[in-house]
Structure 1
């Protein structure tokens, strides 16, 4: 096992030995696991996009060809890092698997990332290659990559997909090269994923071959995926949720993976019906609402969909009830992170557990603590604390972040997630309710208001579909409370701030937690991975206040 702790901290030897002994980890590169999976089901359908329908044999051959081309026709060697800026197209899947098979480490960014972010991440990870999608919407990613190559030391290999260039993905696949099997450290880093829980430049989570494969396999077991399953993921595929919660679980179990070009509800609904999709993991509430509100939703056959899993943000009970009552979808909840840990509500759990918690850990080897905020002592069950976790697929540290690792992990290696949770024990099973983020707190004159508590009450209002609470600048109190809401088009009028105030008081909310401003919007701004962008909401309200002053 590599010992480069300065860049990619390793698992404690005793834990690594336990995971190997218990059969959770396998000492094989992820690319070999993908080859074995494909060999057992070569003529089954592996990948469906609006442009391709490939069997496992075809996908395996294409990714093998790209792997050989990368090693024969570029200066890249196993261990080199490749930045990814490519959207939901078949070429992204081929490039990712091809890189993994060649031992080249994908840095899983998004096409929407700007040059500053890509440049900083390339320098931080020591990336040598940059893969871009030439026809991604209206952005000229090729020109952007060329500018970065001139300014980022070492970033010397540009590979273009779906376009022209000195090196193209299609050209690499067509070289017909035969190269010796590369030597890949089966314990080494297989991919870099970006943490979604930080501010500023994201922290980089190094995912290793044995734990990343196990993460996919154990999640597939939780979803009960098999060769008859059809998995659809509507969000960016190169995000951690796309790779380890959808793409790899499907292909390691022989399922069919369906990749829409975007989360457009019309396209998604059409694919569900046409391909008889059985599982949609990690659907953010905002995407679920768009599906629910689409005109075609009630005329679309959704009976095949038995695993519709909401993640990324806590859904309202009203949303869960409407999905079941109006579309016949018994939605489940999950909680996951680029750093590892997945929680999931089993379909046979009690109704209040499925509605009010994000479930229980998916692996029996997962270890969870609920810590007092700012300390390492555990709080009693039923009390709010910080979620901390350790296990066979939770990273032991971030890449090149020794100072941050010293505070982000406990003395014995538990990752402090920054999420506020409450543990409930039901029939001997631990379930966890997410109560917000430690940092998602509005500081109103030293009074701390947890946004999620108020948001949960706001969505109980009959006219409110979704809510997001943010702080707005105030010269005296530091921050005051602003509530952004979307409303039901069929509601009897748009709610006013006095009406919302009266409603929240009826719900028992303390007066100091009441919103002091109400903004009604048609839709929330979203991050690249479909979460509500509170950063954009805070900027919006700050701008409005400044313009009015």
Structure 2
């Protein structure tokens, strides 16, 4: 392998690092290696050079072929695009081979990927560029209807990004083509890796915390801890050179990177990247490529699989590990998967901030159907706290899940004020999720019982109500508004906007509200899917909007509508 990175003093550029004693302990335990993420990934790729690394509908590459392309892109980022170690690059790319090459190339170049999604709108991308100081924006020209190209042109014209790299399409004026960056790097294969001068205690990747608010919450994933996050997951899932992982969700997401791409590379497994989570595509790829692992299936996708006729006839027998996560899985769905499709589910809980829980492969059905498992690392620490307090609740009682460990962040990026309340005095991250600890004969496991934070879980995507509300009230006809979750059989939750209009304002509909929000750059998946016009919003006894009453209200309305349809 190439030389591993030497340790240099960490530079404080807005992230919270681990203290020296903690870092020394994690290294002594063997959880941290003292090396950077790119050094470890390059070593793993060299070790498994002849193995198949990546399969998409368009390519099948060995580790050697993938590493050669990633290395060329890394050198091209420096030579052609002028990237320097410590720069940040935002991604708006889908599940294509170019995304994997560009991500790995940025990591090898010391450029910090900002793992945005192609679904994000111009507002989110603009805010993230300002917050992370990102110089680069990588876009996939043929994604969707070509919206990303226009959005990139707009962001570039407004000076919010300095350089745009366009993949799978021609570069516009002032932008660079992905192929040109790749070619520039391929012409000089002797250039030394940029990561040799990097500090393993510094930021490697920026991940988003389930969505954005007015000030994006960005999780800075550091080299050693993010490497260990992926290695611990690979070990918990028993990945090896014979493993074949099928991943249909967005790869440029913390789940895609730390459950699929990086763990696969560190273990020599084959990553099969599906272009979408469409059921027809998914079942066809299972039959064609015979994966043994689906490392993350949202409950919404599991329900769609149950409802799809093609799933009844497809041969799904190759899948030994079908892991469901993202939100609470109804027990009846787990039982239907078992009885109707022969799928034995495992559950997991994870977050961009770090901590992963997983039900062990050999655990009982009671554990796999009713809990999200146990931490994947011996270094993980979990507390169940009284909400708003640092006092722990008794086993079996519901409280707030808090976590600390060798791959859980110590603070959000450039968010000192928020970090004061998001972490306990001794560094445990407050997840905002309500959980319960179960001490059983099989071991200690956890179940997720709800959440404290005002977040709507729409499938695998999280929508922060505050962000959407801030934009709704910019409508000239709106006096005030509140966004709450309403139940949905497939997605789990959708957004319902309760709106108080100004006197004599025109009625607001789902369509007209969507036009208003899209014009402000909100991502389409965050749009409210129901609007209720009310005279006033209910208040609690301390004068705050009672979202509990609003959630109860919409549940009652939906139940009444269901009863009416049954008549």
**TM-score > 0.5, shorter chain as reference:** yes
Instruction: Give the counterpart of 2:556 among 505, 516, 521.
Output: 516
Q: Please state whether the residue corresponding to 1:516 is helix, strand or coil.
A: helix
**Residues 1:420 and 2:434 aligned together:** yes
Q: 1:196-215 CA deviation, whole Å, 9 max, x = no partner?
A: 17645530000011111110
Q: Which residue of 1 aligns with 2:283?
A: 269
Q: Which residue of 2 aligns with 1:59?
A: 66
Q: 1:98-130 CA deviation, whole Å, 9 max, x = no partner?
A: 000011110010111111110110010001111
More off after superposition, 8-17 vs 424-433: 424-433
CA contact (8 A) 1:129 1:156 kept: yes
CA contact (8 A) 1:483 1:517 kept: no
More off after superposition, 12-21 vs 81-90: 12-21
| Distance in 1, Cα, partners of 2:260 & 2:296 | 8
Q: 1:128-154 CA deviation, whole Å, 9 max, x = no partner?
A: 11111111110332232122123235x
1:404, CA displacement in angstroms? Answer: 0.1
1:355, CA displacement in angstroms? Answer: 0.9
Q: CA RMSD, aligned part only?
A: 2.6
**Residues 1:138 and 2:145 aligned together:** yes
1:4, CA displacement in angstroms? Answer: 4.6
Q: 1:499-537 CA deviation, whole Å, 9 max, x = no partner?
A: xxxxxxxxxxxxx89942116999xxxxxxxxxxxxxxx
Q: Which residue of 2 aligns with 1:403?
A: 417
| Distance in 1, Cα, partners of 2:494 & 2:68 | 49
CA contact (8 A) 2:331 2:369 kept: yes
**Residues 1:92 and 2:99 aligned together:** yes
1:465, CA displacement in angstroms? Answer: 6.8
Equivalent positions of 1:156-235 (< 5 A) are 156-165=162-171, 166-175=175-184, 176-177=187-188, 178-182=190-194, 183-196=197-210, 199-235=213-249
| Distance in 1, Cα, partners of 2:367 & 2:264 | 27
In structure 2, do the counterparts of structure 1 residues 467 and 255 end up closer, same or farther at CA, with 3 Å as the change threshold?
A: closer
Tell me the TM-score normalised to structure 1 length.
Answer: 0.82
1:188, CA displacement in angstroms? Answer: 1.3
CA contact (8 A) 1:389 1:416 kept: yes
Equivalent positions of 1:360-379 (< 5 A) are 360-379=374-393
CA contact (8 A) 1:203 1:398 kept: yes
| Distance in 1, Cα, partners of 2:560 & 2:213 | 26
| Distance in 2, Cα, partners of 1:119 & 1:290 | 34
| Distance in 1, Cα, partners of 2:449 & 2:211 | 15
Q: Please state whether the residue corresponding to 2:309 is helix, strand or coil.
A: coil
How many residue pairs match? The answer is: 478
Q: Which residue of 1 aligns with 2:463?
A: none
Instruction: Give the counterpart of 1:44 among 51, 63, 71.
Output: 51
| Distance in 1, Cα, partners of 2:178 & 2:423 | 39
CA contact (8 A) 1:279 1:307 kept: yes
In structure 2, do the counterparts of structure 1 residues 481 and 206 end up closer, same or farther at CA, with 3 Å as the change threshold?
A: closer
CA contact (8 A) 2:435 2:448 kept: yes
Instruction: Give the counterpart of 1:17 among 24, 30, 43.
Output: 24
Q: Which residue of 1 aligns with 2:510?
A: none
Q: Which aligned runs of 4 or more in structure 1 are off by greater than 6 angstroms?
A: 469-472, 480-484, 519-522
Q: Please state whether the residue corresponding to 2:402 is helix, strand or coil.
A: strand
In structure 2, do the counterparts of structure 1 residues 158 and 472 end up closer, same or farther at CA, with 3 Å as the change threshold?
A: closer
Q: 1:252-295 CA deviation, whole Å, 9 max, x = no partner?
A: 10111011111001111111111111111121100111122111
CA contact (8 A) 1:365 1:392 kept: yes
Gaps of 5+ in 1: 443-450, 485-511, 523-549
1:298, CA displacement in angstroms? Answer: 1.6
